[in-house]
Amino acid sequence: MRYEAPKTLEQAIALLAGANGQAKVLAGGTDVLIQLRSNRAAPDLLVDIKAIPEMKSIVADAGGYRVGAAVTCMELIENETFARAWPGVVDGVKYIGSVQVKGRATMGGNLCNASPAADSVPALIAAGAVAQIAGPQGRREAPVEDVVLGPGRTSLAPGELVVSFVLPRRAPHSGDAYLRFTPRTEMDIAVTGAAVNLTLDGKGVCSSARVSLGAVAARALLVPAAAAALVGTKVDEAALARLAAAASAACKPIDDKRGTKEYRIKVAGVLARRAAKIALERARGQG
Amino acid sequence: MPTTLKYQEKDLKLVGTRPPRPDGVDKVTGRARFGADYNLPGQLIGKVLRSPHAHARIKSIDTAAALALPGVKAVVTRDDFAEMPDEMAAVGELMINFRDVTRNMMAREKALYDGHPVAAVAAVSESVARAALALIKVEFEVLPHVIDVVEAMQPGAPLLHEDQFTVGVKPKPERPSNIAKRLEFGRGDVAAGFAQAEVIVEREFNTKPVHQGYIEPQACLASYSADGQAELWTSTQGHFVFRAQCAKVLQMEVSKIRVTPTEIGGGFGGKNNIYNEALAIALSRKSNRPVKMVMTREEVFRGTGPTPGANVKVKLGCTRDGRITAAQAELNFQAGAFPGSPVNQASMCAFTRYDLANVQVVGNDVTVNRPKVAAYRAPGAPIAVFGVESVVDEMAKKLGIDPIEFRLKNAAKEGTQTYYGPRLGPIGYIQTLEAARAHAHYRAPLGPNQGRGVATGFWFNIGNETTCALNLQEDGTLTLMLGTIDVAGGSRAAMAMMVAEELGIEFERVRPVVGDTAALGFNFLTAGSRSTFASGMASVIAARQVIEKLRARVAKIREVPLEAVAWKDGQARPAEGGGAQFAPMTLAEIAKMAGKTGGTIAGHAEINAQGAGPGFGTHIVDVEVDRETGWIRILRYTVVQDVGKAIHPAYVEGQLQGGAAQGIGWALNEEYFYGDDGVLQNPGFLDYRMPVASDLPYIDTVIVEVPNPNHPYGVRGCGEVPIIAPMAAIANAVENAIGLRLFAQPFSPPRVLKAIEDAAAARD
Amino acid sequence: MSRNHVSTTVNGDRVEFLCETGQTLLEALRDELRLTGTKEGCGTGDCGACSVTVDGRLVCACLMLAVEAEGKAIQTIEGMAAGEALHPLQKKFIEHAALQCGICTPGILIAARALLERNPDPSESEVRYWLAGNLCRCTGYHKIVDAVLDAAREMRGA
């Protein structure tokens, strides 16, 4: 197995294209190294993209943000202006493993590893983030909810990689939040995760919302019906109850060693409601 | 030489204080060497091929391709190890049969669990060793398997051992069974007792296997030389026992194996048995080079012993005013692939906290297709006590009696006859109950969905064979050579403190060292909470011997009668009324002259320590239950325990806190997940969920000291009692919080939520 | 197979070693550089026993390839004391009996130092959540938390 650390995106793309499908992108490595050890992955070439400047930067861009796909979780958490704009995205990133893991792990890796339980994905989807993709055929973009197809599978073409995430400009009175359920307070894979992003109008009525659920289907779900339960309401108890019901109804979970189907369906509704309450508080606090 | 010393109350200068431990600096700087930190020039890396099947006959093993791989220097299989006789030996608090020891180390006829070793290789690097494993061809005939204890007990269940007939059943059964042994303890007449009872509570509980969870995987390094001698460095709780086990399975003389214990990164009973050690020696013998074998975490879970899972039935009968009239339990314990679960110990500990006239405990030791169980801190007791203390709690609530009051009404005390044999000497159970009741925790207010639970634990503690040597060096300092492993890092300090106390000198002048097997006579393992008790006893005996020799030497040097010499505060002084005056001599002065006046002054002890004092504890826990998710948060935890005498209170507190934390993990989230194929699905710390720092609150400790009359300082073992009560205490707290009793461990959120929903549905 | 040559800095010293591409930083530290103070507890980033810092960032050495150390500055437990002068955290751990078997101790000390460098006055809860990536099976974390808070106090000069 060879290791290369290209300094430009063009070099990285060329290396991936030249490896005939036998190369793996190495960002934080917190998933890839485990796969290498357990022989679930045996690539001929590792392409370390951490030396590529545009993948490592966080840039305020036209009121929104462009976050490099290889920015580490800790770097994102420590970026105070980003955290003020998108606390829900930061919530998700904070849940990825330990401080040690967050010192290496990246949102790009968290997305492209394509685990249905990935913690940063639901909040990115709820935020309306768009993945900036580059490959041998050039650049393109895709909403984050379209990048993962199922466990371990993405819609990236051979040789493509996610370069950055673009988050839109934040309207006033907006707030987002992500909650997940795990048996321990830290260090577990999400049993269920829920992200809510909402915007209030001048009268405190929800004018737009996006709701995304994690770990309850083959990939993170965008749940329009759940968002619809909030739009046009003051996010009162009745709206929250409809939100919870819509969230539970959207789940297509499995039984596994982390939770049962029934448990995930029930708790998805509970978390969606709780996340919406936090998002509401944050929206009310934002001038 | 005395073999036991009775308790003597006296003014203490050092015992009971908190000096820094002698190995502390090495451990905080990374200098301390654990099992995997040892290396020898020219060493090979050894790796084990493990069965991927839960149950399979091994038809053939072809190692030719592996041996031919460049860099592979040796391969071993069952053909390299002799058949072992049917012979029992004590290992910590569990008994083992050497027939099973060799088979667990390397499968012979069958693979009996996912992870069972089938072959091992030694190669020049880890990657070559792993490649070699992939080249070994094993022909398995896969058989049906059974992992649930109740299923395994049914006639017609897949059978692990065709020649296993249940021991303890008369007449001997005609058909073999997975039930290896049935045992029974009791006294009085339970039928009559239940007939007298005005209230009866009868419940069934189920628990899953949990792993000791030591952070350091097993690691060893073996070096066999052409003259038939082997050196072994290994992370172990008992280097003498490991030497004995290796010698037996390798058919070597005991004196030909020298085992050096490394620092140990946690054991809790799980490092009482050999796993890779004899394989490493055999590979070294075959390859003529040292062989290092370090387990991965996955191997630790698939191949080393957990504690059993179990099915427990408990029945309790009481009068209306709260006196227990009868107590009965059935304990069905998984032993794993070979017999020898701690169902014995569990039976002894189930009801011993109570003064009972009518008791019956029946235990079944059942083989199932899982790794062979190993001891885990108070083996078996937490499981039995989960059932018993839950039923006690339910009974107290039914009768409207405070849970501590109920236990006080029935408490065992000095003179109580146990149902498994001995009569209890002075004990501190009642004192721990009273201290718990008086503690501020017991009165603190509780909020919504919060509840409080109490539970108690007992462990008998052990003594056993122990040796030590105490040498006075030329400059007046001493080296205390110990044979018991210092698993938790407190006992080295405790022994040195007792010796320094005896001699009346500063703690720093006694250097405790754990020697290798060549340094001392046989020492039993560090298990059964024995080391401060037994090694402490031996150390004190050795110290008193040294004092006698010092007195005699000073008498000679100063030319006065022996009776004229007293030892006080680190000096030889004229005894009051001793009839002679002389200039006192310090330890350093005597030591300087020792060589010329007769030789080095030393003391030693070789004992089988008897009279270990049982330990009792009372726990209080507050929980909060999230009714919507089934999540249990531990809000507050208090451990009250009688330790006889806390030689070094900080390390005693550490035992209480650590044991409670393990019990909490056991209660909340720890379990093994198996697929339908009998393969372990969570062999790692991601999905085997031990408590992390943010899962636990501070754990308050209250040390009660009712001296053990059979130890010079009153020491009782303290390490095991604290793991016993948490499961029941938490179950009792949950019941107090939301009116729901949990009967299946762990109390993971999906289980708890389901129980909440089922209870709500039943009400509607 | 050919091995990779890596030049890096460990505890302030320039070092070089050879390694296979698939070898982790943890393996290189322990097996090539013989710095065995950093421990392997799980190999999958779930226990924190292998904690080191890389360019000041707290990471698990088992989740980094040895080749990724090229040009970086790594700090391990062996560099924590200044000769005989122990770091306040190390002193407080001994004082508070915040270690029993000691296998998790190097990782926890490295992690705790990283915390106090960022946050010199953490709350009990902040200490617990920061150390959630460091498993300890012996102590129940009680005395560890006390030792970290006490070291923080001393380092603040409070």
Q: Which pLDDT tens digit goes with each residue over B370-398?
A: 999 999 999 999 999 999 999 999 999 99
The residues, any chain, with a CB within 8 Å of residue B382's CB and separated by 6 or more, are B457, B663, B666, B723, B724, B725, B726, B727
pLDDT at B763: 86
- Check which CATH number belongs to the domain holding C137 and give it: 1.10.150.120
Yes or no, beta carbons of C45 and A34 under 8 Å apart: yes
Cis peptide before B746 (omega within 30 of 0): yes
Interface of C with B in 4-33 (CB under 8 A): 20, 22, 30
* pLDDT confidence bin for B290, thresholds 50/70/90: very high
Within its chain, how far is the Cα of B472 from the centroid? 33
Yes or no, beta carbons of B750 and A188 under 8 Å apart: no
Domain B24-32+463-607: CATH class, spelled out: alpha beta
| Average pLDDT rounded to a whole number, residues B248-276 | 96
User: Is C70 in the same domain as C121?
Assistant: no
pLDDT at B734: 98
The residues, any chain, with a CB within 8 Å of residue B310's CB and separated by 6 or more, are B149, B205, B206, B207, B331, B332, B333, B334, B346, B383
> H/E element holding C53?
strand C51-54
pLDDT at A21: 81
The residues, any chain, with a CB within 8 Å of residue C28's CB and separated by 6 or more, are C6, C17, C19, C66, C69
> Which residue is closest to B689 within chain A, CA to CA?
A184
C132 touches chain B (CB under 8 A): yes
Q: Which residues of A touch B661 (CB under 8 A)?
A: none
Yes or no, beta carbons of B24 and C93 under 8 Å apart: yes
Yes or no, beta carbons of C94 and B693 under 8 Å apart: no
pLDDT at B579: 84
Could you report how far apart the first and last alpha carbons of chain A are, in Å? 53
CA distance B335 to B355: 30
Long-range residue pairs from B588-596, CB within 8 A, at least 24 positions apart, any chain: B588/B475, B588/B476, B589/B476, B590/B472, B590/B476, B590/B550, B590/B553, B590/B554, B590/B557, B591/B472, B591/B473, B591/B474, B591/B475, B591/B476, B592/B474, B592/B475, B592/B476, B593/B557, B594/B472, B594/B474, B594/B553, B595/B474
pLDDT at B2: 74
pLDDT at C132: 98
Write the single-letter amino acid at B137.
K
CA distance A7 to A19: 18
pLDDT in tens, B482-505: 999 998 878 999 999 999 999 999
CA distance A80 to C11: 31
In angstroms, the Cα distances linking C157 to B446, C98, C110, C125 are 38, 21, 21, 21
> Domain extents for chain A?
174-285
User: Is C16 in the same domain as C71?
Assistant: yes
User: Is C69 in the same domain as C98?
Assistant: no
Write the single-letter amino acid at B311.
N
pLDDT in tens, B114-171: 999 999 999 999 999 999 999 999 999 999 999 999 999 999 999 999 999 999 999 9
- Residue that is last in its domain, among C79, C108, C143: C79
Choose among B297, B489, B696: nearest Cβ to C99. B489
pLDDT at B91: 66
Yes or no, beta carbons of C48 and A100 under 8 Å apart: yes
Beta bridge partners of B140: B58
* Positions in chain A whose pLDDT score sits under 70: 286-287
pLDDT in tens, B699-741: 999 999 999 999 999 999 999 999 999 999 999 999 999 999 9
User: Is C112 in the same domain as C75?
Assistant: no
B634 touches chain C (CB under 8 A): no
User: Is C71 in the same domain as C105?
Assistant: no
| Average pLDDT rounded to a whole number, residues C6-12 | 98
Among B18, B29, B638, B653, pick the best mutation site for testing chain C contact (most C Cβ within 10 A): B29
Yes or no, beta carbons of A187 and B682 under 8 Å apart: no
B101, B274 Cβ separation under 8 angstroms = yes
Yes or no, beta carbons of B692 and A183 under 8 Å apart: no
> Which residue is closest to A255 within chain B, CA to CA?
B750
Interface of A with C in 94-113 (CB under 8 A): 97-101, 103-104
Beta bridge partners of B122: B46, B74
% of chain B exceeding 70 in pLDDT: 99
User: Is C67 in the same domain as C108?
Assistant: no
| Average pLDDT rounded to a whole number, residues C92-109 | 98
pLDDT at C1: 66
Q: Which residues of C touch A50 (CB under 8 A)?
A: 68
CA distance A210 to B197: 62
Within its chain, how far is the Cα of A158 from the centroid? 22
pLDDT at B529: 87
Yes or no, beta carbons of A183 and B691 under 8 Å apart: no
Nearest CA to B259 out of B230, B217, B224, B288 is that of B230
Nearest CA to B428 out of B610, B724, B641 is that of B641
Q: How many CB contacts within 8 angstroms connect chain B with chain C?
A: 178
Yes or no, beta carbons of B692 and C109 under 8 Å apart: no
Q: How many CB contacts within 8 angstroms connect chain A with chain C?
A: 78
Number of domains in chain C: 2
Yes or no, beta carbons of B687 and A257 under 8 Å apart: yes
pLDDT in tens, B206-257: 999 999 999 999 999 999 999 999 999 999 999 999 999 999 999 999 999 9
> Which residue is closest to B687 within chain C, CA to CA?
C46
3-state secondary structure B442-460: HHCCCCCCEEEEEEEEEEC
With 0-12 / 13-18 / 19 or more C-beta atoms within 10 angstroms meaning exposed / middle / buried, residue B70 is exposed
| SS3 at position B502 | helix
Within its chain, how far is the Cα of B97 from the centroid? 19
Yes or no, beta carbons of A186 and B694 under 8 Å apart: yes
pLDDT in tens, B172-208: 999 999 999 999 999 999 999 999 999 999 999 999 9
B699 touches chain C (CB under 8 A): yes
- Check which CATH number belongs to the domain holding C32 and give it: 3.10.20.30
Nearest CA to C52 out of C23, C70, C79, C31 is that of C79
CA distance B212 to B377: 8
Write the single-letter amino acid at A127.
A
With 0-12 / 13-18 / 19 or more C-beta atoms within 10 angstroms meaning exposed / middle / buried, residue B196 is middle
The residues, any chain, with a CB within 8 Å of residue B34's CB and separated by 6 or more, are B216, B219, B235, B262, B263, B264, B265, C39, C103
CATH code 3.30.365.10 region(s) in chain B: 24-32+463-607, 432-457+613-763
pLDDT at B1: 67
- The mean of the pLDDT values for chain B is 96
pLDDT at A32: 98
* Dihedrals phi, psi of C40, to nearest 5 degrees: -100, 120
> ipTM of this predicted complex?
0.98
Q: Copy the structure tokens of residue A247.
A: 């969230």
Yes or no, beta carbons of A181 and B749 under 8 Å apart: yes
Report whether pLDDT(B107) > 90: yes
State how far residue A30 is from chain C, nearest Cα, in angstroms: 6
Rounded to 10 deg, the angle between the A261-285 and A87-94 helix axes is 140
C142, B657 Cβ separation under 8 angstroms = yes
Q: Which residues of B touch C40 (CB under 8 A)?
A: 36, 217, 294
pLDDT at C2: 81
Yes or no, beta carbons of C103 and B654 under 8 Å apart: no
Q: What is the DSSP string of B694-737?
A: GG---EEEEEE----TTSTT-----SSGGGTSHHHHHHHHHHHH
Q: Is the four-CA dihedral B537, B543, B545, B551 of positive or negative sign?
A: negative
Beta bridge partners of B258: B231
The alpha-helical segments, DSSP class H, found in B10-63 are 24-29
> H/E element holding B392?
helix B381-399
Among A37, A258, A277, pick the best mutation site for testing chain B contact (most B Cβ within 10 A): A258
In angstroms, the Cα distances linking B116 to A248, B58, B265, B266, B342 are 43, 11, 23, 23, 21
Yes or no, beta carbons of B297 and C42 under 8 Å apart: yes
C124, C67 Cβ separation under 8 angstroms = no
pLDDT in tens, A5-22: 999 999 999 999 999 889
- Residue that is last in its domain, among C53, C79, C105: C79
Choose among B630, B668, B692: nearest Cβ to A186. B692
Strands (E), B288-406: 291-294, 310-318, 324-336, 359-367
B298, B330 Cβ separation under 8 angstroms = no
* pLDDT confidence bin for C158, thresholds 50/70/90: low
Report whether pLDDT(B93) > 80: no
> Which residue is closest to C104 within chain B, CA to CA?
B215
B90 touches chain A (CB under 8 A): no
Q: Which residues of B touch A263 (CB under 8 A)?
A: 630, 749-750, 753-754
Yes or no, beta carbons of C45 and A30 under 8 Å apart: yes
The alpha-helical segments, DSSP class H, found in B20-77 are 24-29, 64-68
Among C1, C25, C38, C57, pick the best mutation site for testing chain A contact (most A Cβ within 10 A): C57
So what's the architecture of A174-285 in CATH?
Answer: 2-Layer Sandwich (3.30)
pLDDT at B103: 97
C75 touches chain B (CB under 8 A): no
| SS3 at position B144 | coil
Nearest CA to A257 out of B369, C43, B684, B634 is that of B684
- CATH number for domain B432-457+613-763, candidates 3.40.830.10, 3.30.950.10, 3.30.70.1350, 3.30.365.10: 3.30.365.10
Yes or no, beta carbons of C143 and B653 under 8 Å apart: yes
Yes or no, beta carbons of B687 and A258 under 8 Å apart: yes
C90 touches chain A (CB under 8 A): no
Q: Which residues of B touch C144 (CB under 8 A)?
A: 693
B182, B347 Cβ separation under 8 angstroms = no
B52 touches chain A (CB under 8 A): no
CA distance A207 to B184: 71
Choose among B669, B682, B750: nearest Cβ to A184. B669
CA distance B753 to A273: 18
Q: Copy the structure tokens of residue C42.
A: 């799980």
Among B296, B634, B687, pick the best mutation site for testing chain A contact (most A Cβ within 10 A): B687
Which range of residues forms the domain containing residue C111? 88-156
Yes or no, beta carbons of C67 and A74 under 8 Å apart: no
Q: Which residues of A touch C60 (CB under 8 A)?
A: 98, 100-101, 104
